[in-house]
Chain A
């Protein structure tokens, strides 16, 4: 009984962390079609922003939920103005440019913070479920992921800004004809995407030892999740994170963590073979 509860929590946690890792990329790549190879580095910078803020005496939750997204969002804004905005619609060029950016960010982080592992400890203590100890922070990650999905849905579906953003991504010429500046809207959307990446990096920071090259560990998973999700932003994100999180945890518990990772990749290959356009090209069609 206890063990099934613990495994359920671990599974939800795995799904929630995939959602967090991929949310920023879902906006930048899924919505805006910018292949952001520096996504992992945006997360890494979110982590460093959190750790630096905590060391300066900021409350850890404020650092994670407010400071890090703002800092990374602003960095994203600068990057968008200087580089990305010249490259909209040029997939290969953005790949090259953002890959270069990722190297620059790694280099800068190494110069500023040094090539050593840093970190902060988790702000929530563990607790016991029957004979088992659970990491209390897992619940925090699950809650944040749920709130994030609800918030994204509410903003995109329920607000005028969300409607304008979605419209512009589909037909920027029509949006322009209606009097909205696609340039501004792209900028704002990229800011949001970057901020989400920063948030993910910040939330995961207390769980890992952070080094300037940490971003590389997330990038593959984020792209797999977003691509397998397909055209619908939120339904795709949630459905693919759920499938991959479920598959990898089942194999992790049944066999070993390495097989769990392998199973995730195999699942992705099979899924994309059966549904090349992603899950939401077949299921949840037309949903957001």
Chain B
């Protein structure tokens, strides 16, 4: 037995030694290094896996078109296993050992904040490609996902026009839900409506029976529900089970990000109004080409969601910035990206707002129909007004914080 263990240890050590040699060999090649840091296993892998696939697709596209500055792009990726502690560890590795030229990744806001300062200290350009609560102000970071106002500003007037002025809000009880609920209230009031009640739910609440009764007592014209995660999906199901889905219209800023509309039956989901940057149903040549490429690479397109497309577009924006700068030097690329650069991605035109380093993008109002997101209206080039209210990197290039936006 002891002999076997020793053999095993010896073999293991040899394997480790060879493995540690590999990155060094790769370093020698003259490639551009793109760091990717995502949860591709663990509880957030439903978000992370398609984002990882999108990263590979984007880099393959760039390389197929001849690479950047005449060099090929190489991905150096780490799986953070849905563990926040691993983010800081791998961020150190990416910036100090692998010395990558750019990092794309992070999913939860907590993961972004865990690595943002490391990126800043080491002058490593960082792209966060996720829908989030807004307010990050840092010249080293670019954000390509939608912020609450970009959705709410568009969704609330549309939904109120279809239903009426009395609105009931149900939100997830953490910073995203709290902040989004305040924005909803603001836009409801600006559009001449009234919020009759707001209820917050911890992420593990899955019983909404009493809430549904309370909503009926308040008898609103519209329910807006920024609810998050699997447990909260129960609300949509119980709402339909009570027969309410045909009585009071429902809008959400989160339903569908993890492809929830494919879990609900069409009887349960039909008619729910949402607003996002991307829908698989978008009828544009860019989206068709993107879906075909995705299908060729991964078999089928069911996995594509909002965050995957944001990741793809984030990498393409970075590539555009590098091309324009003609170098990989940090400040040159940032300046190129600040020059109002834009690309046409699967979700339409997307540009970088120089003032906030957030994205100006198309927002599509959609209604769930037969487990699909039917696009009913498109608003072109919506700016992140929430973050713009607190952040101006042109005047304050040294700013480095996440503002809590006062409304």
Contacts and interface: CB of A to CB of B under 8 A. Distances in A.
Contacts of A260: 210
Nearest to B203: A217
Interface of A: 3, 6-7, 10, 13-14, 17, 114-119, 121-122, 124-128, 131-138, 206-211, 213-214, 216-217, 249, 252-253, 256-258, 260-261
Nearest to A6: B213
A258 B201 CA distance: 6
Given A134-B242, A209-B237, A214-B230, A115 B45 contact: yes
A26 B42 CA distance: 32
A257 B231 contact: no
Contact of B205 (A128, A131, A136, A257): A257
A115 B173 contact: no
B192 interface: no
Interface stretch (B90-98, B257-265, B270-278, B286-294): B257-265
A220 to B, nearest CB: 10
A207 B232 CA distance: 11
B243 interface: yes
A227 B260 CA distance: 37
Contacts of A119: 233, 237, 263-264
Given A119-B237, A213-B43, A253-B214, A133 B209 contact: no
B23 interface: no
A137 B241 contact: yes
Contacts of B237: 119, 121-122, 206-209
Given A206-B237, A257-B205, A252 B210 contact: yes
A17 B207 CA distance: 10
B210 A10 contact: yes
B109 interface: no
B209 A13 contact: yes
Interface in B78-122: none
A121 B234 contact: no
Contacts of B264: 119, 121
B347 to A, nearest CB: 22
Contacts of B187: none
B238 A207 contact: yes
A208 B265 contact: no
B356 to A, nearest CB: 33
B209 A214 contact: no
B216 A131 contact: yes
A4 to B, nearest CB: 11
A116 B242 contact: no
A39 B94 CA distance: 41
A180 to B, nearest CB: 41
Interface of B: 42-43, 45-46, 173, 199-202, 204-214, 216-217, 219, 230-234, 237-238, 240-244, 247, 258-260, 263-265, 267-268
Contact of A217 (B173, B231, B259): B231
A121 B241 contact: yes
A133 B231 contact: no
B302 to A, nearest CB: 10
A244 to B, nearest CB: 13
25 contacts: A3-B217, A13-B209, A114-B46, A115-B42, A116-B259, A116-B263, A117-B230, A117-B263, A118-B263, A119-B264, A121-B267, A122-B240, A133-B212, A133-B216, A135-B243, A206-B237, A207-B206, A208-B231, A208-B233, A209-B260, A211-B230, A252-B211, A258-B202, A261-B202, A261-B205
Given A6-B216, A10-B209, A128-B243, 14 more contacts: A10-B213, A13-B209, A115-B42, A116-B263, A117-B258, A117-B260, A124-B241, A133-B243, A207-B237, A208-B206, A208-B230, A217-B204, A256-B199, A258-B200
Contacts of B209: 10, 13-14, 135, 138
A115 B231 contact: no
Contacts of B231: 208-209, 214, 217
B234 A126 contact: no
Given A116-B258, A121-B265, A258-B201, A217 B241 contact: no
A125 B265 CA distance: 14
A209 B216 contact: no
Contacts of A210: 230
A131 B243 CA distance: 12
Nearest to A135: B242
Given A121-B268, A207-B206, A207-B238, A126 B243 contact: yes
Contacts of B206: 207-209, 214, 217
A117 B242 CA distance: 21
Nearest to B217: A3
A257 B242 contact: no
Contact of A126 (B46, B210, B214, B244): B244
B258 A7 contact: no
B213 A117 contact: no
A75 to B, nearest CB: 22
A229 B111 CA distance: 42
Contacts of A127: 243
Contacts of A208: 206, 230-231, 233-234, 237
B329 to A, nearest CB: 40
Contact of A133 (B214, B233, B247, B263): B247
B210 A209 contact: no
A116 B210 contact: no
A47 to B, nearest CB: 11
Given A133-B243, A253-B214, A257-B199, A216 B204 contact: yes
Contacts of A249: 210
A106 to B, nearest CB: 10
Contacts of A213: 43
Contacts of A209: 206, 230-234, 237, 260, 263
A136 B204 CA distance: 24
B45 A132 contact: no
A286 to B, nearest CB: 34
